[in-house]
Amino acid sequence: MVVMNVSNLAISPRIPAVFGRIGVALALATLVASCGDTPQQRGAPPPPAVTVAQPTKRTIFDFDEYVGRFVAVNSVEMRARVSGYLEGVHFKDGQIVKQGDLLFTIDKRPFQNALQQAEANLTQAKSNLAYTQSDLQRGMQLVKEKTITEQVFEQRAQAARNAQASVNNMEAAVRQAKLDMEFTELRAPMNGRIGDRRVSPGNLVTGGSGGNTTLLATIVSTDPIQFEFTFDEASFLRYERSSKTGKDVASRGAGVEVALKLIDETDFGHAGRMDFVDNVISPSTGTIRGRALFGNPNGVFTPGMFARIRVPASPAYEALLVPDVAIGSEQARKFVLAIDKENTARAKYVALGHLDGNLRVIKSGLAPDDRVVVNGMARVRPGQKVRISNGPGGAPQPGAQGAKPAAAAPGKPPAGEAGKPTAGEAGKSK
């Protein structure tokens, strides 16, 4: 084994100088390398990629929405015209009935007896009339022969007139008895849906025209059906003034088209027409009642059901529309991010209109040639550079949300295909 004595080793004085020159060289190499780095090599993120689209121009109307209820066009309470014991019920609760269908029957026997008695009285009155008329004919000859006095003749004439009046009275009694017989059968006065029966067979039913008659059932019409809603005084004035200029808005007597949706629907898919606006404004609420008429062939609309109605509130005008996803919020203000020529995002504050499908109406604050961010908005801040991902130079491509394809000039290829050979030129080059 070899043992070395460290104290016997001699260190050359040239070694520290060599290490110093090596350190300086390494520092210079690092500085030169760092000067050539790009932002991406230093870890800076690239500009965010976004999708843009140009606003769509369209002729539209402004709409107002209101909440209201359906009401039946006709509603009838079934009450008996004659009193008696209920004999039968001839319908199922809640079914659709047609005009003339038999619904209730009342015991007819007392009314049959009354009819027979009235007919018997009529026969007796007619017999009495025949006797008095023949007696009057004999009296006319006797008075000429001076056999009877004028007073006796007048008595016979009066008896004949009384007999005729009695016949008329009995005939009216017979007609009333026949009516009472008909009234024992209660039939549907119209087409509609009947509710549940309020009285079971065997119970005494109070009829007549008084206020204490018995309610048997209720029938409501279903097709067509009315929808009632209320709107405020300011809207009423706006509608009325617009209607004076011939505009189709929700005004009195205009008969304009309206749309409706139920509480479980997302679109206004039911079309109807305005048919009535009330003649007074409620002093307690400051609103006025409006009404629209809708077809209901399937019976889905039911009286008392809630729904939302959309009525036209302005004449037609040209407006710009952008996808609703492009709208941002800054407290109470709404904005869109528009991309300028340097591909920088700029916030534009806009006034919004109603939603048309997935497009939002922009009333002001946007130009037709603006490029609006419709995808990637969460990654962009105003003043930030962006990278357009849907077309060269940031132009919206056909088929982008809300974007319209640029029309090519006559005889020229569409934009983006100017450098491509046509089919004929390709064949010639071969």
Rounded mean pLDDT of 213-233? Answer: 93
CATH 2.40.30.170 in the chain, residues?
65-73+222-312
CATH 1.10.287.470 in the chain, residues?
108-183
pLDDT band per the 50, 70, 90 thresholds, residue 168: very high
CA–CA distance, 127 with 287 (Å, rounded to integer): 70
Instruction: Work out the angle between the directed axes of helices 109-144 and 150-183 (0-180°, nearest 10).
Output: 160
- 51-57+317-394 architecture in CATH? Beta Barrel (2.40)
Q: Residue 424 pLDDT more than 50?
A: no
Nearest to 347 by CA among 322, 321, 384, 389: 384
pLDDT in tens, 12-23: 444 444 444 545
Q: For the whole prediction, is pTM greater than 0.75?
A: no
The count of other CB atoms within 10 Å of the CB of residue 82 is 19
CATH 2.40.420.20 in the chain, residues?
51-57+317-394
CATH number for 108-183: choose from 3.30.465.10, 3.30.450.20, 1.10.287.470, 1.20.120.80: 1.10.287.470
Using DSSP, state whether 114 is helix, strand or coil.
helix
CATH number for 65-73+222-312: choose from 2.60.120.1600, 2.40.50.140, 2.40.30.170, 2.60.120.10: 2.40.30.170
What is the DSSP secondary-structure string of 119-163?
Answer: HHHHHHHHHHHHHHHHHHHHHHHHHHTTSS-HHHHHHHHHHHHHH
Using DSSP, state whether 364 is helix, strand or coil.
strand
Helix (H) or strand (E) holding 31: helix 15-35
CA-based max dimension of the chain: 197
Whole-number pLDDT of residue 253:
58
Higher pLDDT, 40 or 133: 133
Helix (H) or strand (E) holding 36: none
The most confident of the ranges 42-51, 141-150, 211-220, 380-389 is 211-220
pLDDT in tens, 41-57: 556 678 888 888 889 88
Q: Is the dihedral of CA 93, 99, 101, 105 positive or negative?
A: positive
